[in-house]
Every structure is written in structure tokens, then in C-alpha cells.
Amino acid sequence: MKIALAQLNYHIGNFESNTKKIIEHIALAKADGADLVVFAELAVCGYPPRDFLEFEEFISLCEDAAKEIAAHCIGIACIVGLPVKNEQIAGKDLYNAAYFIEDGEVKAIAKKALLPNYDVFDEYRYFEPATQFSCIDFKGTKIALTICEDLWNINNNPLYVSNPMDVLITENPDVMINIAASPFSYQHDDERLAVLSGNAKKYRLPLLYVNQVGSQTEIIFDGGSMVFDKEGNLLDEMHYFKEHLRVYELLDHKIQGYTPIIHKDASDVAQIHDALVLGITDYFSKSGFSKAVLGLSGGIDSAIVCALACRALGPENVMAVLMPSKYSSDHSIKDALDLVENFGCKHEIISIAAAADAFDSMMAGAFDGLPFNLTEENIQARSRGIVVMAMSNKFGYILLNTSNKSECAVGYGTLYGDMCGAIGVIGDVYKTQIYELAHYINKDREVIPENTIVKPPSAELRPGQKDSDSLPDYDILDAILYQFIELKKSSSAIIALGYEEALVKRIMKMVNAAEFKRYQTPPILRVSPKAFGMGRRMPIVGKYLA
């Protein structure tokens, strides 16, 4: 039997586009001689649909799309994910399910049992867990079909009390197929490989795994669909960050024509780069926009965002706005202009000096006798926010936020100023990773000016200002932040690693105090195991860790 894996980029709630894409790939798989073509988890509606699932019409549109897809399954079968209604009154109204369609009809339905409810996942909010499982018979082959998390309860600290495969294996299946919506992080590919390989080895069955690809606002899916033999050896992996269709032949419990290979282990920085480019591309295309605007300061953060935007959207669709203040250095303006020339994007130079002076004059009475401080610095940052938002409103640009994760973590940014934007491009990338990203972008030729990379970071909101005036060295800051945010370690555990007690407590206090700011910032493209946003939910006024 020939099985095609269709690794596609879906659009949440865009039934016309998703259905058309699925039908097109049914035809392509059929033309390639496939007997069965497999699509991803919730492919019909896109993942994660979130509270769209609470609308009855949304579920009806899923059913209508499935009927249209079924009409094209003549001479070829398909497996496709979608939400289906729970006919029982007790329990949640829906299942996260997959249709097995053959000869234009739904012949079997597989329902997901293990519903993740951690980090970015909230499936138990919507779905009822399945309790009954059976294999699918197709052309003399028994298929053990599972959905994403159903295979993830195989480690030293299981989250669930049962495994669907423990039931399915009693029916002596010939092959496992798993359909997934497995989000990207730069650490996740190795973990995913280990989990899938472990299942193939445990159950002594070949495994075909299909993941979706593409970005859904902040969540990015990297594809990387894989095939394993019954010993758990990796036989093939499909493209990362791209759509892909490939046909495999299953015969006598073996995938024909493939021998074990080594996982394509790309560097963290390469994965982050490709994920962010895809995240920008899909945010714009799926929102119906094509042109971006950002403030370009001459610093490394805005340079990285500009570079990524130019690669995602084309330089002709990127507007970089240079907004010097009376404290801006000549080299910062030159560095920004050099970057613009290297990429060929559009640019404007709009000084904020007059606006900042006007605010100073306007507030002079209220501030009489008080010294220059953070207030006047923030006025400058907010003046820049007004300028880029004006460009957005006037020309239909989408504003890209340029704050990095280190800044977001400790609140080193101005609300309604440099923290404004529609999407946070690098808000899940630590400052130390930003430098790695700059070198990676420059690996073929220098496009980000070397001076932008080597000069000390500065907001340039007062004479001689440097980030180091307010923050610890980024190497130390990021290391402590990683222990606290990604690894969720307490202050005592971090201090035990050898970090200065006062510094650790200061940093943790800054992180917690900045929670109110993060609640008001744009969604951030997720590339790490623990990103700010829906995957990290902290109370604003909580006392713990304060």
C-alpha cells in the first residue's frame, strides 16, 4: 500500500482555502499512485481554532468541508483532522477527531484521547477525551491511527494515566499513523524525534507521522513530518518550514526503499531564523496585509527585525523609519542608513526632536522645578510610537515591534512607545541570541553593519546612555532569565548555581513587576520552549516570587 503524507500550511477558519488545498493534494497524491493520503490534526479548520469552536456554525462549516473533501476521495482514501460533535449529552460537546474517508464516505472516525492543557495548549477547554479505540482496516492493512498527543505519554514522567496505543496494539495493527499539530520551538525537534522513535520501538511497528507547517499568529509549526521503521530508526523526514508531499510504500510491515538516516539537526539560530521569517510571512498573508513599517534606530534589535522583514515580505514592502532625537549619535543614523542600502528597503528620516521639545514645553508648568528623568525619556519613546503609528495609519503598514526577550522580561521598554506594534518579531529571542542571529544573517555577506553588532546597546534617550546603566551584563542577565523563565527555577535554586543573591532577586523582581507591561504588548512569535504570552500565564498582582 502506498501512503502519502501531506504536510500543509492551513489558515484557521478559512474553509475555502483549506478545503481547496486538501482537495488539490488528494489529486496530487492520487497522481503519484498513493492509495491513502494523510493530512494533519484539525486540518479542515486549522489549529488552534480556540473559541471559534464554541460557534455552532463553525462546526457546521467543518462538516460541510469534510463532505466536499469526501466527494474527491474516489480511487484514493484520506485521513483528515477536524472537530466532530459528541453525541452524548454528558461531557464536552466536541471531539478532536480524524475522518478516514474511502469511496466518498466516512468509513471510520478516530478520536483524540490525550488532550494537552499546558503551555500554549488548551484542548481540554473544548474537547472530550476519547475512551474507545479501534484500528482501521484498509486494503488488507490494519492502521493504528492516533492524533498528536496520543503518542506523547511515553517518558519518565507521564502526564496521563493511559495510552491509546496500548489498546490499539491488541488488534495487531500493521502500521501506526499519527496526525499532528506540533508547535515549533528550537528545542522541540529532538524531543519530538525521541518520542516518535520510542513509540515505533515500543510497539514494534513502522510509524508515519505528519505535522502541519505554517504560523498561526504567535504559534509556528515547522513541519518536519517523519517516517520510522519498527526498530525506531528514522527513515525519512520531510522539509522544515515548507509544505511538502511525499509518498511511501508499505509492504510486509516495512517502508520500502528507505534505510536509516540521521536527523537533520539544524542549529538553534538557523531554526529561529527560518521560524521568524515564516512567522512574519504568514502573519501578513493570513491577515490580508503586505507592507510593514518599523522604527530603525541603528541598533541591533531593529536591524534584525528589518532584515527578517525584508526576507519575509521583500524589501520593497518594508518601510524603515529613522527617528533621531537630539541625543542620537551620528553613527547610529549612518548604521541605519547602511542597513537600508544593503537591503534596499524604503525609508524615511523623521526627527522627533521638535515633538519632544513641544511636550517638554507643554508639561513645563506641571513639571516645574523637577529634574529630567525617565519621564522625559519615555516621552521621546512615545513620540516615536506616534510617528510609526501615523505611518501605519496613513499608508496601511503593519507595525513590527522590535523588543527582544531580555527587554520584555525585565520591562526595559516604554509602553505605547517602543513596545507598540501588531506583532512582536523577536520578543522570544534573548539579547545574546540576537547577536547570534545577526552573525547568521551575515553568514554569506555583511548586510547588518558590523558597527551595529559591536557597539554597546543604547536607547539613546539621554546623553551617553547605555543599556548597561540599567541592566546587568546580557550574558549574565540572559542566563538567569533562562533559568527562571524556561526552566522555572526558584531564586534559591538559581543562587545555588553560583549567581549573586542580590542580583538574582533583583532580576526576578524586575520580571514580575513588568507583568503588567507584557499584558499590553503585541503577540510574540514563539520560538522557545517558554514564550511570553498564552504559554506563560502569570497574575499581575501576585505576591509569590515578588
DSSP characters over 277-310: HHHHHHHHHHHT---EEEE--SSHHHHHHHHHHH
Q: How confident is the model at residue 156 (pLDDT cuts 50, 70, 90)?
A: confident
Contact 41, 180 (CB under 8 A): yes
Neighbours of 530 (CB within 10 A): 17
**Which residue's C-alpha cell is 496494539?**
169
Q: Look at residue 148 in the predicted model and tell me its pLDDT.
A: 97
Is 346 catalytic? The answer is no
2-265 and 271-468 agree in CATH topology: no
What are the boundaries of each domain within the chain?
A: 2-265, 271-468
- Which residues fall within 8 angstroms of residue 280, CB to CB, at 6 or more apart? 292, 308, 309, 312, 313, 400, 423, 425, 525
What's 120-188 look like in SS3? CCCHHHCECCCCCCCCEEECCEEEEEEEHHHHCCCCCCCCCCCCHHHHHHHHCCCEEEEEECCECCCCH
Is 148 catalytic? The answer is yes
Task: Note the pLDDT tens digit of each residue in 509-536.
Answer: 999 999 999 999 999 999 999 999 999 9
Catalytic residue among 62, 135, 148, 345: 148
- % of the chain with per-residue pLDDT over 70: 99
Gap between the Cα atoms of 514 and 144, Å rounded: 47
Catalytic residue among 41, 218, 407, 460: 41
AA identity, residue 319: M
CA-nearest of 406, 398, 402 to 419 is 402
Q: Look at residue 345 in the predicted model and tell me its pLDDT.
A: 98
Contact 175, 141 (CB under 8 A): yes
- Please compute the mean of the pLDDT values over residues 358-364 and round it to a whole number: 95
Task: Note the pLDDT tens digit of each residue in 21-76.
Answer: 999 999 999 999 999 999 999 999 999 999 999 999 999 999 999 999 999 999 99
Topology of 271-468 in CATH?
A: Rossmann fold (3.40.50)
Please provide residue 110's backbone torsions phi and psi, each rounded to the nearest 5 degrees: -105, 135
CA-nearest of 320, 290, 316, 317 to 305 is 320
Q: Look at residue 459 in the predicted model and tell me its pLDDT.
A: 65
Q: How confident is the model at residue 344 (pLDDT cuts 50, 70, 90)?
A: very high
What does the block give as the cell for 325?
532625537
User: May I ask the CATH architecture of the domain 2-265?
Assistant: 4-Layer Sandwich (3.60)
- Please compute the mean of the pLDDT values over residues 386-402 and round it to a whole number: 97
Task: Note the pLDDT tens digit of each residue in 472-506.
Answer: 999 999 999 999 999 999 999 999 999 999 999 99
Buried b (16+ CB within 10 A) or exposed e, 177-201: bbbbbbbbbbebbeebbebbbbbbb
Q: Look at residue 546 in the predicted model and tell me its pLDDT.
A: 58
- Residue 127 bridge partners (DSSP): 94
Q: How confident is the model at residue 460 (pLDDT cuts 50, 70, 90)?
A: low
Neighbours of 274 (CB within 10 A): 19
Q: How confident is the model at residue 376 (pLDDT cuts 50, 70, 90)?
A: very high
- Measured CA angle at 150 (ends 233, 17), to 5 deg: 95
What does the block give as the cell for 188?
522541540
Buried b (16+ CB within 10 A) or exposed e, 345-382: bbbeebebeebbeebeeeeeeeeeeeeeeeebbbbbbb
Catalytic residue among 112, 286, 405, 517: 112
First-to-last alpha carbon distance for the chain, in angstroms, is: 60
Task: Note the pLDDT tens digit of each residue in 415-439.
Answer: 999 999 999 999 999 999 999 999 9
- Please compute the mean of the pLDDT values over residues 219-248 and round it to a whole number: 98
- Please compute the mean of the pLDDT values over residues 532-546 and round it to a whole number: 87
Contact 152, 195 (CB under 8 A): yes
Is 62 catalytic? The answer is no
Q: Look at residue 264 in the predicted model and tell me its pLDDT.
A: 85
